[in-house]
Amino acid sequence: MLTQTFLPLLTAALLLVAPLPSFAQAPADNDDAALAYAQCMRDNGYAEFPDPTPGEGMRFLITPGSAARFEKASAACHDLAPEGMRGEGVTPEQLEGLLKLAQCVREHGLPNFPDPSPDGGFDAGKIGAGPDDPKLRAAMDACRELSGGARIMIGG
């Protein structure tokens, strides 16, 4: 399971990158790697994988029922995955930052936002907001600096 963190975020039927429903965004400095990875994912059976948005990184959904195809393509493209999408986990310092981020998001109007799992991921099913929810976007904008340098990963 990919357990990296990305912003803007995800939700129950989406991910920020996991073999479950999810949604993700990689950092802008990985645009070239993200483009190669996106093409590889499409070439390996996950046709709906989008190209990254220049300067914004990568955002995508792993929809219900597509996890097996995503996992297969992800395994085939592992070596091309942008930094932070290879399942490296998080350091104790990054986990502490993600805990602070979760508390901040709760304080900014999403009281059900979960604490991160030990690998740094967040359970999208507990967030109570979709990736395009203005309240979630505003909270993440206000709190992302607290993440301790970890990417935000939200999965189902």
| Residues spanned by the domain of 148 | 1-156
pTM: 0.55
Tell whether the model's pLDDT for residue 7 goes beyond 60: no
Collapsed DSSP state (helix, strand, coil) of residue 56: coil
Domain count along the chain: 1
Would you place residue 68 in the very low, low, confident or very high pLDDT band (cuts 50, 70, 90)? confident
Question: Cβ–Cβ contacts within 10 Å for residue 66, how many?
Answer: 16
What does the pLDDT read at residue 55?
Answer: 63
Distances (CA, A) of 28 to 54, 85, 119, 140: 7, 13, 23, 17
Would you place residue 21 in the very low, low, confident or very high pLDDT band (cuts 50, 70, 90)? very low
What whole-number distance in Å separates Cα of residue 71 and Cα of residue 68? 5
What whole-number distance in Å separates Cα of residue 19 and Cα of residue 133? 23
Whether the Cβ atoms of residue 124 and residue 21 lie closer than 8 Å to each other: yes
Look at 130 and 72; give whichever has higher pLDDT.
72
Look at 126 and 138; give whichever has higher pLDDT.
138
